[in-house]
Amino acid sequence: MEGRYWIWLGARLLVAAALVGWAASYLIPGGSGEKEFRKTLDAMKHIRSVRITTVADPTPTQHSEISWEVSCPQDAYRYRWHFANSDANSPSEVNQEEIHVGSINYEHKRDDSWQAHQYAAGVMAASAICGRLAQGLENRMLPDIATMIRRAIIQKGDKKTVNGVRCREWRLTLKGGYNGLEHDTLCLGVDDHLPYEMTVDFQHSRTTYSDYNSPFQIELPPAALQAASANSGSN
C-alpha cells in the first residue's frame, strides 16, 4: 500500500507540474504569448497602409472617435477626431481633421476651408510614422507590442472574427490605469499575426484595424488643393 501511495503521489505531482508549465507558457514572459507577440512585432514591420478606428467613452459624459488612414507609398495620412462632452455644467464638442502629405499638413477649419502648414516641431510626418513601423518602433497608432512583451502578463483567449478576419484574442494585464492595473485585450490575426482589435478597460475604448497593405489613396479636397497652391505662392 505504501508503494502505491508514493506512485499515486508522484503521478499527481507530475500532472500538477505539467499544468503549471502549461499555464506559465500563457501567463509569463517567455511563453507562447510572448512568441506570438514577437511574430506580430515582425509582421508589423511590413505594414505599408492601414485604416484605424477608435471609439472611447472614458467617462459617462465623454465620447471620443478617432480615425487614421495611413498610406506609406503615398507618404500621407489622414487623421480625424471627434470629441463630445455632454456634462450639463460644461458641454463641449471638438472636431478636428488633418491630412498630411509629404512635408505639408492640411488642417480643416471651422468655416470648411483648409489651411496648409509646413511641419512644426512635435508634428509627426507620414514618413516618420512609416519609418518607425519598418523598424518595429512605437508609432502612436498601432499597439506598442514591444512594451507589451516587456511588461504585460499575457493570457491566451478564444478565436473570433473581426471585420471578416479570424483572430485570436489575448488578454493583457499591465501596471497602470486608474486602479493600479490595466486590463486590455488584443486580437491577433490567425494567419498574418497582425492586430485587428484592441480594447483598453480604463479608457472604455475599442480600436479596430483594417485594410492592411491595401492600395488606397488619400485624396485632398478641392479646398485643400487651393490652400496648397496659395501656400506655394506665398513661399
User: Would you list the DSSP string of 44-77?
Assistant: HTT--EEEEEEEE-SSTTEEEEEEEEEETTTTEE
CA 10 to chain centre: 46
Asked if pLDDT for residue 22 goes beyond 50, the answer is no
CATH number at residue 172: 2.50.20.20
User: Has residue 92 got a pLDDT over 70?
Assistant: yes
Q: Coil, strand, or helix at residue 200?
A: strand
Find the angle CA(127)-CA(132)-CA(133) to the nearest 5 degrees.
95
CA pair distance 95, 39, nearest whole angstrom:
37
Q: What is the pTM of this model?
A: 0.80
Report the mean per-residue pLDDT for the chain.
Answer: 82
Query: Does residue 2 fall inside a structural domain?
Result: no
pLDDT at 107 over 80: yes
> Does residue 24 belong to any structural domain of this protein?
no
C-alpha cell recorded at residue 187: 486580437
Whole-angstrom CA distances from 97 to 69, 77, 107, 123 are 12, 11, 6, 14
Domain that holds residue 225: 30-234
Residue 25, in any domain of the structure: no
Report percent pLDDT > 90 for the chain.
Answer: 54
pLDDT value at position 16? 34
Answer yes or no: is 22 within a domain: no
Mean pLDDT confidence for 40-62: 95
Beta-carbon contacts of 200 under 8 Å, excluding residues fewer than 6 positions away, are 56, 182, 184
Residue of higher predicted confidence among 75 and 12: 75
Q: Which residue in this structure is represented by grid cell 476651408?
A: 113
In a domain, 11, yes or no: no
Q: Does 114 map to a domain?
A: yes
Residue 95 lies in a domain: yes
Instruction: Tell me the CA distances in angstroms from 224 to 69, 109, 113, 188, 216, one per residue in order.
Output: 17, 10, 7, 37, 19
User: Which of 154, 168, 157 has its CA nearest to residue 27?
Assistant: 154
Residue at 21 is within a domain: no
- Give the total number of structural domains in the chain: 1
